[in-house]
Structure 1
C-alpha cells in the first residue's frame, strides 16, 4: 500500500465533529457599555431563524437577564413578514425560571420574559429586528445582561437544546461607568490558520481535527515548538477548480498531517493508496471486536516517550438517524518513520465506551485529553492524564472524566473514573461535571488556576470556567457567533475546541467545524467543509464575568483556594477592609463542620493561609468565611 504526502506552505490549521440541528440564533446584540442610574437605555437585537420552513404560527419568546431593580419599558420588532410589539408574559417567565434558574447568572438578577403579539409562518430564513427599552436601576456596579429566545410552543424551553433555545451571555454594562467591568474574553479571527487548510489539490477538506505535540509539551508558548501531528476524520481527497467546485474527489474516513512547529507555516498531509491507486484511510479497524465495514473516527491523542496514542471511535453504518452509530472505542498506538508516516501500528479494544440500552444513553471517553504531567508544561501538574468525553442522552451531552498515569495508559484495569465523590473503577458510574457540551471539545488549564472548557453551542463557540479539572464549572459564556451559518440555511457549526499546543501565551487558538446538511453542497462549494479558527485572549486583562461586581465602600473578600484541586496543601487568601473577628470553617459535603481553620481578630489587610489537608480523604469540601455581616462560602476539592 502506498503512502501519499502532500506539502503545502501557506497559512492555518485544525477542526472537530457530530452535528446538531440549526435553529434560532442571535445574529447581533447591541447594548450600551455604560449607563446612569435611572436612565432608559436602548438595546437592539437581530434574531434569525434558520430552521425553515415554519408552518405553524408560533409566537416568539424573548427573555432578558437584568438586575433586580431594573424595569421593562417597551419592546417592538420588525421583519420582512411583519411588525409588532412584545409584552410581558408571566406564564412564560415561570417556564424560563424553572429551566434556566437566574441564580446561575449572578446574584440579584431576574428574568424579564416577553411574548410577541402575533405568530408567523414562513418558508425562508427570517430575521427579526427587536428594539428594547430598559430602565436602569439605582444599584451601582458591573452587570452581565443576557438574552434568550425561542418559540412559544411546548417542549422547547425544557429541551435544553441550545439550537432551539439560544442564549447570548454575557453582555456587561457598567453603572455608572464601563470601567467598572473587567475585560470580557475577547476573540478575533485567526486567518493565518484558517487559510492553511484552504487547499485546492489533494487534501481539500475534513472534519474531526485534533493536534498532538510530539515533544509532549502541551502548554501555550511564544517560542517555536517541536513537530505537531494533526489527525483528521472524514476527508475529501481530490481537486478544486477555479470556481470552487470539487473534481475527481473521494472521501476517506481519516487522514493525518504534520506541522514542523506550533506556527502555521508549513503542513504536510498524509493518506494511503490501495493497489488501484485510489485514496484510502490511514487507519482501518482490525481489533477483535471490529466488524466488516467498520471505520474509525479519530479522537484526541497524546505522545508519550516517542510513542503516539490516539483514541478512535469505531463506527458502522445504519439505515436511520445520521446514517452511522458508535460501536466501540479503540486505542491506536504507533510511531513515526523517517518519512514522518506511521509505523509499528497496534490497535486495542478498550472499555472506554459504555451504553445503557435501558435508559438510552452512552458514554464515550477520549474526545478530549488534558495531560497534567511535568513534561506537559501545564500549570499545577499532578502526574495524571485526564481523559474526557460526553454522556449522550435524548437531548443533551454531559461532561464526564477519567484519569490514568502515563505508564498505565494501556492497562485499563488501572484507569479511574470520577463518580462524583471519588475516583472509581467503573465507567458506568461516571458523574456529570456539567451539561450542554458538544461531542468534541477541550479542557485547558490556565496559569491563573482556572480551567477552560471550550465547546460549540448552537451556531456559536462558547466556554465554561472551571475551578479544577473536575469543575465546578460556571455558566456558559458565548464568545463567538460563527458567521458561516448566514450564507446558507443548510450550513451548521459543530465541535469547537482549543489547541493550546498551537497557541501563544496570550492567544488561545480555537477551531470549529463547518458542514452542510446537503451533501451536494460540498461539491459545488468546496469552501464549506473545512475548519475555521479564532483566537481567544487569555492575557492577564481577561477576567471572569461570572459574578457581578458592586461598588462597596470597603470589601471583605474570600478568594478561591489555589491550587484547586490539591494534594495535600492549598492556599486560602482573603481580604479584610476593617478590623474584624474573622472565622473560617471547613465543612464536608454533608454540611458538617469538620475543622475551624481560623478564628482571630484581623486588622485591615490581605491574608494568606497555607492549609494542609493530609488528614482528610479525597472529596469535595466547603470553606466559609464570616466577619461581621460578611459571609462567603467556596468549594475546594482534595484529590489524593
Structure 2
C-alpha cells in the first residue's frame, strides 16, 4: 500500500508540474521585451592576443565558486574553456611560423573585469615539449583519431565541487574548415582544486548521443542551467537542466537530473513535450533554429533567455523568451547583426551564448565566434580573426 501511495504521489506531482507549464504558456509574454544591445569592445579586446593563445572558438565560462547566476565577485575565478585553439605568435600583422592548432585550451580570469593581467591561459605539452590539448579522449569507446569538441560545464556542489564538462568525441572526415563529425558523447570530471592541465581528470562515456530514424544525430551538453538554490537560481527546483541539439533544423532537446545523481545515467529523464520520461528516444523538440552551443539564463523579470546563433551559422545573434527551463519558447528575437565583423567573404559566425557570471545586473554579456572557410590562408592575412567577439544586452523591465 505504501509503494502504491508513493507512486500515486509521484504521478500527482508530475501532473501538477505539467499543469504549471501549461499555465505559464497562457500567462507569460513570450514575444515582447525591452532591450538595448551594444558592442562590448573591452571584452573582445581581452582575447585579441599576439602570443601564446591567440585564437580559438567554443568558448564557455564556468564560475569556479559554483554560483551560476549573478556576476562573479572581485576575488572569484571564472574558468574559460575553448575548443580548437591556436598557439604561437603574431608578428608584423601575420601569423608567425611555428604556430600550431590544438583541440582545446583553458584560461582563468580572476574577478569580473576584462583585464589582461588577471587572465592566464593554459594548455598541455607533449613529450617533445610542443603545445598539446588539455582534454584528449581516453574512454573505452574512443577511436584512434577521435578528439574533443567541448560542450558546456559547471561546478557540481552536490558532488564535492567537481567540475563536469561535456566532451563531444569527433573525428575529421575532410580537410575543409568544418570537416568533422561527432561520433559520441563523453563526460569529463575535474576534481575540485585541480590545476590545469588537470592530470587527475577522469572521463566517462555517456549514452547522450542519439541518431533518429531519419539518420539525423544529436547530443546533449550544448548548454547547462543549474536550477538550484546553491547556484543562485531565482526559482530553484533542485535540478540540473542539460540542453541538447539535433538535426539540420537545430532542434532543442531538454534533459534533467538531480545534482547528486549526475553520474548515474539511469536517473536522467528527458522532456517528451508533456512529461519527464526515462527513455531518451522519446525526447521532444521543444524549439528549433538554435545553435550547437547556446545558453539558458534567467531574466530580471522572471522569464528566461535562450541565447544562440540563429540557425547555427547565420549572422544573427538570437534570443527566444522561455516561460520555464523547458519552455514554451517564443519566436526568435534578433539581438545583434554580426555582419560588420565579416570583413572577408570567407568569414563565418557561429555559436552565440551568454555568460551570466561576467554580466552586470540586468544585463547579459554574449559572445559569438568568428572563423573562416579558408582558415589557414585568412589567418595569415588576418591573424586575429579566429576569436570570440562580445556584445552586451541590457534589459529594462521598467521602460
TM-score range relative to shorter protein: 0.7 to 0.9
Task: Name the stretch that deviates more: 231-240 or 432-441.
Answer: 432-441
> How big is each residue's C-alpha offset from its partner over 1:69-92, in whole Å with a ceiling of 9 and x where there is no partner?
xxxxxxxxxxxxxxxxxxxxxxxx
CA distance in 2, matches of 1:184, 1:303: 32
CA distance in 1, matches of 2:98, 2:175: 29
Aligned equivalent of 2:119, options 267, 277, 282:
267
Where in structure 2 are the equivalents of 1:228-627 lying within 5 Å?
Answer: 228-265=78-115, 266-304=118-156, 305-319=160-174, 322-335=178-191, 341-356=197-212, 358-393=213-248, 396-457=249-310, 458-519=314-375, 520-541=377-398
1:185 has 2:38 as partner: no
Question: Are 1:222 and 1:504, in contact at CA under 8 Å, matched by a contact in 2?
Answer: no
| Structure 1 residues 350 and 222: CA distance shift in structure 2, 3 A | closer
Question: Are 1:190 and 1:534, in contact at CA under 8 Å, matched by a contact in 2?
Answer: yes
Query: Could you tell me how far 1:469 is from its partner in structure 2?
Result: 0.7
Query: Could you tell me how far 1:506 is from its partner in structure 2?
Result: 1.9
| Structure 1 residues 201 and 277: CA distance shift in structure 2, 3 A | same
CA distance in 2, matches of 1:276, 1:341: 16
Query: Could you tell me how far 1:224 is from its partner in structure 2?
Result: 3.0
Structure (1 or 2) with the greater helix fraction? 2
TM, length-normalised to structure 2: 0.86
Query: Could you tell me how far 1:486 is from its partner in structure 2?
Result: 4.2
> How big is each residue's C-alpha offset from its partner over 1:479-508, in whole Å with a ceiling of 9 and x where there is no partner?
111134541111111000001111111221
Where in structure 2 are the equivalents of 1:125-144 lying within 5 Å?
Answer: none
CA distance in 2, matches of 1:482, 1:541: 28
SS of the aligned residue for 2:281 comes to helix
CA distance in 2, matches of 1:485, 1:193: 15
Unaligned regions of 5+ residues in structure 1, if any? 1-169, 171-181, 543-640
Question: Are 1:514 and 1:532, in contact at CA under 8 Å, matched by a contact in 2?
Answer: yes
CA distance in 1, matches of 2:287, 2:277: 19
> How big is each residue's C-alpha offset from its partner over 1:422-461, in whole Å with a ceiling of 9 and x where there is no partner?
1011222110111111111111112422110111122011
SS of the aligned residue for 2:149 comes to strand
SS of the aligned residue for 1:468 comes to coil
SS of the aligned residue for 1:194 comes to helix
Structure (1 or 2) with the greater strand fraction? 1
CA distance in 2, matches of 1:443, 1:337: 27
> How big is each residue's C-alpha offset from its partner over 1:542-572, in whole Å with a ceiling of 9 and x where there is no partner?
6xxxxxxxxxxxxxxxxxxxxxxxxxxxxxx
Question: Are 2:134 and 2:197, in contact at CA under 8 Å, matched by a contact in 1?
Answer: no
CA distance in 1, matches of 2:302, 2:241: 16
Question: Are 2:94 and 2:379, in contact at CA under 8 Å, matched by a contact in 1?
Answer: no
Question: Are 1:454 and 1:498, in contact at CA under 8 Å, matched by a contact in 2?
Answer: yes
SS of the aligned residue for 1:434 comes to coil
Question: Are 1:403 and 1:415, in contact at CA under 8 Å, matched by a contact in 2?
Answer: yes
TM, length-normalised to structure 1: 0.54
- Which residue of the partner structure matches residue 589 of structure 1? none
| Structure 1 residues 380 and 338: CA distance shift in structure 2, 3 A | closer
> How big is each residue's C-alpha offset from its partner over 1:171-217, in whole Å with a ceiling of 9 and x where there is no partner?
xxxxxxxxxxx873211111111111011001000001110111110
Question: Are 2:72 and 2:358, in contact at CA under 8 Å, matched by a contact in 1?
Answer: no
- Which residue of the partner structure matches residue 46 of structure 2? 196
Larger radius of gyration: 1
Question: Are 1:337 and 1:343, in contact at CA under 8 Å, matched by a contact in 2?
Answer: no
| Structure 1 residues 355 and 190: CA distance shift in structure 2, 3 A | same
Query: Could you tell me how far 1:275 is from its partner in structure 2?
Result: 1.6
Query: Could you tell me how far 1:341 is from its partner in structure 2?
Result: 4.3
| Structure 1 residues 469 and 524: CA distance shift in structure 2, 3 A | same
CA distance in 1, matches of 2:124, 2:50: 19
Question: Are 2:366 and 2:390, in contact at CA under 8 Å, matched by a contact in 1?
Answer: yes
| Structure 1 residues 310 and 339: CA distance shift in structure 2, 3 A | closer
CA distance in 2, matches of 1:485, 1:330: 33
| Structure 1 residues 343 and 332: CA distance shift in structure 2, 3 A | same
CA distance in 1, matches of 2:258, 2:114: 32
| Structure 1 residues 191 and 456: CA distance shift in structure 2, 3 A | same
CA distance in 1, matches of 2:358, 2:192: 20
SS of the aligned residue for 1:403 comes to strand
| Structure 1 residues 484 and 363: CA distance shift in structure 2, 3 A | same
SS of the aligned residue for 1:186 comes to strand
Query: Could you tell me how far 1:348 is from its partner in structure 2?
Result: 0.2
If asked which structure has higher relative contact order (CA below 8 Å, sep 6+), I would say 2
- Which residue of the partner structure matches residue 64 of structure 1? none
